[in-house]
Chain A
């Protein structure tokens, strides 16, 4: 009967702990939930008491705390490996299937029955952030340079397309590479002054850079329209075929003999951003297995050692900035053409913070992690729309919980780029986070 003997104190401790938690809950909920002022029929305020609700909440806290504590004690007693460790094997094995499944889902999304305009728009939004996350992942995840002003390149891309289209009447397909190139150019411009900066200092300067770009866009009214933004940005065409609502000659619907529908353009935009995001992913994955990508990761691990091996730190850093910025620029051009209207308000610091949160939450350097994090963050944010003002709270709590559960992001481990035998993932504990 050793089981009963050892369980007795566990049960007692758990009961005591749960009782205390219930008392704390009572202290909190009595004034907050128990008392409520309502407007009476005469228009006067009266105090309504809701003691049953308070009791219910206390019971929930008691039960929850009790179960949690009981489970913890019970587990510690068994000295078994933690759930996380036991799950690690199957989880990492299932990881191999997650990426193809997600990709297949993304490819087939518009064809799935029941997927309407709203879902497609949400898909476009998520994919935009996936692409931005992957772009920033080059700078932060691989090269280890903490960039808090990534949204600047997104803005440069968006305004490049908007202005080139407005002043020179260039089409989207010509502007897309130009927007990328211009963003890359600004990435290099930012890169030069921050080459010698590390860690926090680098973060502050990039943050400032992001704000400078936004303020210039806001105040250069004659060129950018200032706070009024730029409207009437032309929509992209499908190999010269326009997506016009009425059909008409030369339109997409007319050419393929389809019923004109506004959904065509949304589906087209969806596949466009999917293709752009996959391009980002493809380039990153390829570069990672090549000297440039390895030099980025080596730089994240140890910059001084890199120098002693003859790696030019300057060009290596600048290529990371330029390439990351270029994909940000592509995403920006896409954003402009999708919205048909841009203003500096879309490029505030919070955007940079969200993109960085996606990268950190996903796991620095992990492509799959970043994609999942973008899905969870952006998609989750939309799903919780019904919660109204509680949304931010839920959002914040979810992020805190994930960071407690997985301090190095959802996929913190690193896959070696090359191996003599079987490739084994490297645990997050080994991998450096980079200090700029």
Chain B
């Protein structure tokens, strides 16, 4: 099966600093691909390239979805989301003053906007906006239930506890009906029990069983919590100092010498030089 996301020779430079150097990998459809690496390895930079927040210096990013190929590196930020890539943020970015339900409706902006006749029809009460909104609320409700937030639907997002905010952000991303869900450290700040529940949620999302009417969704995640990564990932990519050092299934990564060296600092040339 053709990979859903192909990253080829991706390089991102900020002035003299090369944050990501010549990284290539592929994410399989219907799988959870994890990107791991020590701090400053370039994980978030690569993520920002994939989700359109940075424009890569060179290299290509290709999304294959429903028989179409989309060159993500050429698209404007909001078009990447429309192409089927949804993301969450390392530090949660919810619309704090809006309710959980409203957050999920904003995520369905595009379908709803089309139903309003781009604003004009709905103001005049002409179009079938009501039905579209009911459908959107239905989808939002399904995702609120999937994330265990249905009781807090009418509470402002900013008043939810941290773990709930993380789940709501995932639900919001899923409401855009993505083909690829990119999660930037989804388990950061969660307690072990919440991490476990998150792993189950992510697996359900991958298999399209999380919410009613949800399609299976491939997942790309950055994570520090090794328990989460090893437990749920189908494939792991390891970055260090901006370059890919390993790529394979969890078992192989766990045994990889380079990965162990990168994480424990063994055999690091800089340190050898200093010693």
Contacts and interface: CB of A to CB of B under 8 A. Distances in A.
Contacts of B159: 430
Contacts of A312: 78
B78 A310 contact: yes
Nearest to B80: A310
A63 interface: no
A305 B95 contact: yes
Interface string B69-92: 000000001111110001101000
Nearest to A302: B93
B51 interface: yes
Given A290-B129, A310-B110, A420 B94 contact: no
B153 A432 contact: no
A424 B154 contact: yes
Q: Is the interface of B mostly helix, strand, loop or mixed?
A: helix
B176 A310 contact: yes
Given A291-B113, A307-B77, A418-B102, A297 B95 contact: yes
Contacts of A108: none
A294 B106 contact: yes
Contact of B153 (A308, A421, A426): A421
A287 B123 contact: yes
Nearest to B113: A291
Contact of B101 (A297, A313, A420): A420
Contact of A432 (B86, B97, B129, B173): B97
B156 interface: yes
B122 interface: yes
A292 B154 contact: no
A378 B142 CA distance: 49
B156 A426 contact: yes
Given A307-B78, A308-B86, A312-B78, A414 B97 contact: yes
Contact of B81 (A298, A310, A432): A310
Interface string A277-319: 0000001001100111011011001101111111111000001
Contact of B93 (A305, A310, A426): A305
Contacts of A389: none
B246 interface: no
B233 interface: no
A417 interface: yes
B158 interface: yes
A286 B154 contact: no
A309 B102 contact: no
Given A301-B97, A416-B99, A319 B110 contact: no
B123 A430 contact: no
B20 to A, nearest CB: 20
A427 B159 CA distance: 10
Contact of A305 (B79, B89, B101, B156): B89
A420 B95 contact: no
Report, as a range, how many residues of chain B touch the other chain: 35 or more
A346 to B, nearest CB: 30
B137 to A, nearest CB: 7
Contact of A294 (B53, B93, B109, B176): B109
Contacts of A291: 105-106, 108-109, 112-113, 116, 119
Contacts of B176: 309-310
Interface in A300-357: 301-302, 304-313, 319
A297 B154 contact: no
B78 A430 contact: no
A287 B172 CA distance: 21
Interface string A392-436: 000000000000000000000010111111111011001110000
B96 interface: yes
Contact of B105 (A283, A287, A294, A319): A294
Given A290-B129, A430-B96, A421 B154 contact: yes
Nearest to B154: A419
A305 B227 CA distance: 28
A298 B141 CA distance: 19
B237 interface: no
B98 A298 contact: yes
A287 to B, nearest CB: 6
A292 B116 CA distance: 9
Question: Which among A304, A307, A309, A427 has the greatest number of chain B C-beta atoms within 10 A?
Answer: A309
B107 interface: yes
Given A287-B123, A298-B95, A418-B99, 10 more contacts: A287-B119, A290-B123, A291-B116, A305-B95, A307-B81, A308-B93, A418-B105, A419-B153, A421-B153, A431-B156
10 contacts: A291-B116, A292-B113, A295-B113, A304-B53, A309-B106, A309-B107, A310-B78, A313-B78, A422-B154, A430-B96
Interface of B: 51-53, 77-82, 86-87, 89, 93-99, 101-103, 105-110, 112-113, 116, 119, 122-123, 129, 133, 137, 141, 150, 153-156, 158-159, 172-173, 176
